[in-house]
Structure 1
Amino acid sequence: MTPRQILHAALTGAAAPRIPVFCNLFDHGAKEMKLHPKAYFADGACVAEAQLRMQKRYGYDNVWCLHYVGKEAELLGCKEILFADDGVPNVADFVIKSWDDIASFEVPNDITQHPAWQSIADCLAVLRGEVGASHPICAYVTASTTLPAILMGMDKWMELFLLGPADLRDELLRKCADYVQQHIAALRAAGANVLVYSSPFGSPYFVNKKVIADIVMPWMRRDLALGGTDDLVYYCGMAPFNDVIEPVIEQLGIRSHYISPLADLAQAKRLINTRGLTCGVIDDIKMIHWSAGEVRAEVRRIVDIGKPGGHFLFGNGVMPMAVPEANIRAMLDAAFEFGQLP
C-alpha cells in the first residue's frame, strides 16, 4: 500500500500493514539545500526538492508545501519577513497597525495572482508531479479567528477579540474568513490533499468553551463552508482541545484530530473512537534533550495507547532544529516498529 492508501485506511478503519507515520520538518529544508532561509523559501521548487529528499531519507509518509506561517501575512500585504539563520521566519511588518486600519484592509480578489503565491504554486507543482498519487501532501491553513494575530500582533488581536467593539472584530473576521475560503480552494486546486486547519482559538487553552461556542465556532463553520472537510485535520498549535472534540466533529464535520502532547491521548481516542482519526503526537520540544532511548520509549507509549482499534496516526509537532538527527531517526524507527498492524 502507498502512504496515501495507508492514511485513508487509518481514517476509515480499513486493513493496512501499519499505522501512518508523519514527520514535519520545515526549517530543516534550508540546511538540506545548503541555503540561507531567505533564499531557500523564495524558491518553491527548492522547498519541494528538500521535502522529497528528507522524506526519502527518513521514510515517513508525508511531505509539506508550507514555507512559514508568515507567508499568509505576505499574501495579505505584509512587506517584511524576518529570516533567522537557524530559526522560524517571523512577521516583521504588521499589516494592521491600529484598529483604524481594519476598514481599509482588503483581501485580494485572487490570491493566486499575488507574487507571494508563486513559490507555493511552484512547490505544489513539483510535489504533485512527484508524489501526488502516492503520498499525503500537507498544507497549512490558519483559521480566521487566529489569522489576525499575524496581521496585527497577538496583543492587539486579543484586546480586540475579547474587549473591543464586536462590530469591528466581526468586520475583520469576515475579511479573514473570505481569505480562508479562498486559501483552502487554492491549495486544493494546486495539489494539496491534506489540509492542516490551525485554530488555536479553537482550544480551551486560549479561550473558554463559551467563547468557542458563541464566537469561534460560527467563524470556523464559515471558514469551512465550501468544499467539505474530508481532507482536513483539526490542529490547535499543540494546545490541548479534548473538551471540544465532540462539537468539532458534530458541527464542523472534521474527523482527523492532531492531539496535543499536553492532552490525555487515551481520552481523545475514546472520544473520537471509530468516527475518525486520532493523531498521537510526541512532544518534540522535549526531544531536544532526550536520549534516543527516551525517544523510543515515548513513541512506544503513544502507539500502545492509540493503536488498539485502529483509526490512529503517529506524528510530531514542528520539529525544532535543535533536535539531534539521532533522535529523529529513533522516533521514526520506533514508530514503524511499534506501529505494525496484525
Structure 2
Amino acid sequence: MITGMDRLNAAAKGEKSDRIPVFCSLFDQGQKELGISSEKYFSNGEYIAQAQLKIREKYGHDNLWSLFYVGREAELLGCKKILFSEQGPPNVADFIIKNHEDIHRLQIPEDISLIPAFEQELKCLKILTQEAGGKYPICAYLTASMTLPALLMGMDKWMELLFLGPRDVRDELLEKCSDFFKKHWKACKKAGADIFVYANAFGSTDTVPMKFFKEHSLGWMEKDLENIDKTGLVYYCGSSRLNNVIDIVIEKLGISTLYLSPFDDVAQGKKIVAGRGVTCGVINDIPMIDSSENEIKQEVKRIISAGIKGGKFAFGTIGIPYNTPERNIFAMVEAACKYGGYEYWKK
C-alpha cells in the first residue's frame, strides 16, 4: 500500500507516485470527533493523537499534526491563561510580556522537552510515532523569532516595539525568541516529528515592505535556521503571499518546500520554484463553510491543474474552520486525490 510518506518522498525527489501528497489542517475538529469539550480535549496529548489518527483515517489525507493550537508556545514560556472556545481554536488570554522589564526577565529553558507544559506534546508525538511513524508525515508547527513576540505581548505592542524600538530591547527579545525556536525544533525532531512548518507572518511582503523583509526579516530567519537541518522544513506565512520572496527563500535560507498562499498565482509560484523544491498549492478554506461541494471540487481542480505538471507538487489547506460541513471536507479531499492523480491528466 502506498503511504503518505511514500507520496511525500516521491514529490521531494521529483518522482511520480499514484498521486500528489494531500495535506489537511484539521485541528479543532478533534474535540468534535471525540465528543469532549475544547478545554478537556486540548489538555491531553493522548486526545490530540487519537483524534489526528481518527481524522486522517476518516478523510484519507496524507499527514498528521502534533500541533495543539497556535499560542501553545506561549504556554511553554509561562502563559497561564488560555481562552477556550467550543467552536474554534483556543487563544492566549494573558500576555506574559506587559512591559520592557518582562523582556529582560524572560528566560528560555535550556531543554524544551523538560518543561512540564511540553509533556503533553511529547505524549502526542510518541503516540503518533508509534502508530503511524514512517507511514504518514507527522507535522510540527514552529513559530519564527519575528512572529513569536506577538504571542507573548500582543500584535499591537509587538508592532510598536518592532518598528519604533528601542532597538536594544527589540533585539534582546528577538534573540531570545530565536533561541527558543532552535530549542523547540530540536525537541520536536527528537520526539519524532518529520515536517517542521516554519511559520512567519513577517516572511511575506503582504505584511512588511520588501525593504524591511530584506534588511530585517531575512537576517532573523537566517539566525533562526543557522545550523538547523533543513530536511522537512516548510516555509509558511499563513494566508500571506510568497511568490515575490520565493527566490530569496530558496537561495538565502535553503528551504525547498514552499507552502503558497491561497492568493498566490499557483502556476507562477511553480515556475519561480523551477524544480528547486516542492511547491504546495493551497485552497482558501474559509469559504468552505458555505461553499457547495461542486464549487469546492472545481477550486481544487483549478489549483492542482496549475501546478501538477512536472511533479514536485502538493496540495494543502491553511486551517479548515471548525464549522465546515463534513461533506465539504470529504469533497475537497476526494477531489484532491482524484485530480492529484497523475493518470488523470494523461486522459
TM-score range, shorter chain: over 0.9
Q: CA deviation at 1:227?
A: 3.0
* Residue 189 (structure 2) aligns with: 188
Distance in 1 (CA, whole Å) between partners of 2:106 and 2:47 is 32
Q: CA deviation at 1:226?
A: 2.6
* Residue 107 (structure 2) aligns with: 106
* Residue 27 (structure 1) aligns with: 28
Alignment partner of 1:210 is 2:211: yes
Extract unaligned runs of 5+ from structure 2: none
* Residue 129 (structure 1) aligns with: 130
- Would you say the 8 A contact 1:55–1:62 is kept in 2? yes
- Would you say the 8 A contact 2:66–2:121 is kept in 1? yes
Distance in 2 (CA, whole Å) between partners of 1:128 and 1:176 is 28
Distance in 1 (CA, whole Å) between partners of 2:226 and 2:129 is 25
State how 1:25-174 maps to structure 2 within 5 Å.
Answer: 25-174=26-175
**Could you list the runs of 4 or more consecutive aligned residues of structure 1 that deviate by over 3 angstroms after TM superposition?**
none
Distance in 2 (CA, whole Å) between partners of 1:340 and 1:264 is 21
Distance in 1 (CA, whole Å) between partners of 2:209 and 2:242 is 11
Distance in 1 (CA, whole Å) between partners of 2:227 and 2:84 is 34
Distance in 2 (CA, whole Å) between partners of 1:214 and 1:333 is 43
- Would you say the 8 A contact 1:181–1:226 is kept in 2? no
Q: Which moved more, 1:275-284 or 1:14-23?
A: 14-23
* Residue 270 (structure 1) aligns with: 271
Alignment partner of 1:315 is 2:316: yes
Residue aligned with 2:309, SS:
coil
Query: What's the TM-score once normalised by structure 2's chain length?
Result: 0.97
* Residue 248 (structure 1) aligns with: 249
Distance in 1 (CA, whole Å) between partners of 2:64 and 2:118 is 18
Q: CA deviation at 1:47?
A: 0.6
Residue aligned with 2:97, SS:
coil
RMSD: 0.9
1:262-310 CA-partner distances (Å, limit 9, x unpaired)? 1111111100121101100111001111100000000000010010111
Distance in 2 (CA, whole Å) between partners of 1:106 and 1:182 is 13
Query: What's the TM-score once normalised by structure 1's chain length?
Result: 0.98
Q: CA deviation at 1:15?
A: 2.5
- Would you say the 8 A contact 2:27–2:68 is kept in 1? yes
Q: CA deviation at 1:21?
A: 0.7
Alignment partner of 1:325 is 2:326: yes
1:150-193 CA-partner distances (Å, limit 9, x unpaired)? 00000000001011121111100000000000000100000000
Q: CA deviation at 1:200?
A: 0.8
Identity of aligned pairs, percent?
Answer: 50
